Amino acid sequence: MHMQTTTGNISGLAKFKPAFNVALYKTEVDVVGNHLSGLLLIKKMPDSSTRMVFSNEMGLKFFDFEFTTDGNFKVYFIMKKMNKKPVIKTLRKDFELILMEHLDTTAASVRINNGLIYYVFPEAKGYNYYITDSTGDNLVSMERASKRKTVVQAIMKNYINGTPDTIGISHKTFNFTIGLKRIER
């Protein structure tokens, strides 16, 4: 991908950082041919960390995660069947992509490609991209990529008081999508 470097302000991204005070999402997950559904409760805790608890409609808990503002992560609970390192790692990275906490601006750059503005954040083994339209007013998508290709694509749409009511995460290298639709409690 040819990208022109441009002088752009990373701070243009701040308005897209989701504000989750307490939000409940109806959740659909499709993973390698299996369908899972439930409710994801996202809450900003008094210590500023973000908790995510995913349970099915009948109350059966799948996982309970904590994301701290300094980029740390804790598993409070995960259902036995999901308790595998690669699963936890994937979920952690997917949610960190959309939480936009702890974005390291020191090595970040802003580029333009095909009329879209790319905010590029180098990661340990690749890049996270936050992509807006040319006006910078709309977050078109977010991506996690390896050095060679896109691994995950995500969207956050329809922000109401800073909280997106629609979130989608879609993996490109294997069949795994998460769809979140906010519901009133």
> Judged by CB under 8 A, does residue 33 bind another protein?
no
Where are any strands of DSSP class E within the chain?
A: 4-5, 22-31, 34-44, 50-55, 61-67, 73-78, 109-113, 116-123, 126-132, 139-145, 150-160, 163-171, 176-183
> Judged by CB under 8 A, does residue 2 bind another protein?
no
132, 138 contact by CB (below 8 A): yes
Among 15, 57, 74, 138, binds another protein (CB under 8 A): 57
Among 19, 48, 71, 76, binds another protein (CB under 8 A): 76
The separation between CA 108 and the C-alpha centre of its own chain, rounded to angstroms, equals 18
> Judged by CB under 8 A, does residue 6 bind another protein?
no
Stretch that binds another protein, among 75-83, 91-99, 103-111, 150-158 (CB under 8 A): 75-83
Pairwise CA distance, residues 66 & 77, whole Å: 10
> Can you give the binding site for another protein, defined by CB under 8 A?
22, 24, 26, 28, 35, 37, 39, 41, 43, 45, 51, 53, 55, 57-61, 64, 76-77, 80, 183-185
